[in-house]
Chain A
């Protein structure tokens, strides 16, 4: 695995484990074996200072809203013109005061996972092991209410579990808040860490075909996320009527744009790091 120093990095999208603590016990979790301490604001600020170019930070964990430093981390990212986005289960966002504080911290995209859809808790009970529907819908309502304009709705496509309804549900939800829900992100299961092994993994092609049953992908304006993307075939991103769709084969080792922040001001290829860590090799 090629480790690079922050100063020399070419990664444009950097994944940051703000905390490894989590308030859920999902059946699918590639980060279940992590043991690192919460990231400090001092370390994060030094990272921001040393980066040679603007990056998109993906703030995750664990559950990033459990980090006591999250708002400060967002402010620091802004100070250095980086673009933060949190990837959250949404549980903490039922507190509208928390959402207001998030908004006050400055721009931050919010990607919220909705693997069980928007109608009932049947699938959430299987995947997340608890009912989630109420808090996820409340979280989105709160984000809209406080004026967070860049909400992403995300799901892992699970064969035989949610693949027969999830895209239709997400499309309906997008139409509920058209000025706020700005993108839909679909991914395959990562075959690392904890995951539902009985659900045969979707391939990228299958996922693309599944999405194509609901929208006319040929109308999409292709928008590779970064100029540096080598088009490895592991993800696709396009917009239709200014709404953005992205699909990703999660765990694609050929990806050259996603890096994982490590201690000691170093970065690793995101998916390779994830794989080796779950194999106990690092």
Chain B
């Protein structure tokens, strides 16, 4: 799952930094529309509804992965 997420994050905007599981989402350089696009792509890929503000609620790529897993499991 984490590899798919990394791929989506790179697809939204080519980051200046390498993305791994410990990368802070704040360091990727997304603006609010990039974040929304990422959320939409993630929803589509994992067939789940995610909150628009999910990027504000988690710190790293790994945290994002875990949060998506939690939301999927709770559904």
B44 → chain A, closest Cβ, in Å? 7
Binds B, one of A22-30, A37-45, A220-228, A270-278: A220-228
A179 near B49 with CB under 8 A, answer: yes
Residue B27 is within 8 A (CB to CB) of chain A in the complex: no
Chain B residues with Cβ below 8 Å from A54 are 31, 33-34, 37
Instruction: Name B's interface SS.
Output: helix
Q: Report how far A90 CA is from B74 CA in the complex, Å.
A: 31
Instruction: Kindly identify, within residues 62 to 119 of chain A, every residue whose CB is under 8 Å from any CB belonging to chain B.
Output: 81, 83, 107
Determine which of A149, A227, A239 lies in contact with B43 in the assembled complex, contact meaning CB atoms within 8 Å. A149
Determine which of A12, A150, A224, A239 lies in contact with B53 in the assembled complex, contact meaning CB atoms within 8 Å. A239
Chain A residues with Cβ below 8 Å from B13 are 81
Q: Report how far A239 CA is from B52 CA in the complex, Å.
A: 9
Residue A201 is within 8 A (CB to CB) of chain B in the complex: no
**Nearest 6 CB-CB pairings of A with B:** A242-B51, A179-B49, A54-B33, A107-B40, A149-B49, A226-B32
Residue A56 is within 8 A (CB to CB) of chain B in the complex: yes
The size of the chain B interface, using a CB distance under 8 A, is: 18
B49 near A83 with CB under 8 A, answer: no
Chain B residues with Cβ below 8 Å from A58 are none
Q: Report how far A244 CA is from B51 CA in the complex, Å.
A: 9
Determine which of B33, B44, B49 lies in contact with A226 in the assembled complex, contact meaning CB atoms within 8 Å. B33
Q: A180-B49, A182-B52, A244-B52 are known contacts. Are A83 and B32 too (CB-CB below 8 A)?
A: no
Chain A residues with Cβ below 8 Å from B12 are 81
Interface centre among B32, B49, B53 (most CB of A within 10 A): B32
Q: Report how far A149 CA is from B43 CA in the complex, Å.
A: 8
B31 near A227 with CB under 8 A, answer: yes
Q: How large is the interface on A (under 10, 10 to 19, 20 to 34, 35 or more residues)?
A: 20 to 34
B36 near A83 with CB under 8 A, answer: yes
B53 near A223 with CB under 8 A, answer: yes
Q: Report how far A55 CA is from B33 CA in the complex, Å.
A: 7
Chain A residues with Cβ below 8 Å from B56 are 221
Chain B residues with Cβ below 8 Å from A226 are 31-33
B28 → chain A, closest Cβ, in Å? 14
Q: A12-B33, A54-B33, A54-B34 are known contacts. Are A107 and B44 too (CB-CB below 8 A)?
A: yes
> Residue on A with the closest CB to B34?
A54
Instruction: Kindly identify, within residues 179 to 232 of chain A, every residue whose CB is under 8 Å from any CB belonging to chain B.
Output: 179-180, 182, 221, 223-227
Q: Report how far A182 CA is from B54 CA in the complex, Å.
A: 14
B33 near A56 with CB under 8 A, answer: yes
B37 → chain A, closest Cβ, in Å? 6
Instruction: Kindly identify, within residues 45 to 60 of chain A, every residue whose CB is under 8 Å from any CB belonging to chain B.
Output: 54-56
Other CB < 8 Å A-B pairs besides A149-B49, A239-B52, A242-B52, 17 of them?
A54-B31, A54-B33, A54-B37, A56-B33, A56-B36, A83-B33, A83-B37, A83-B40, A179-B49, A179-B75, A180-B49, A182-B52, A221-B53, A225-B32, A227-B31, A239-B53, A244-B52
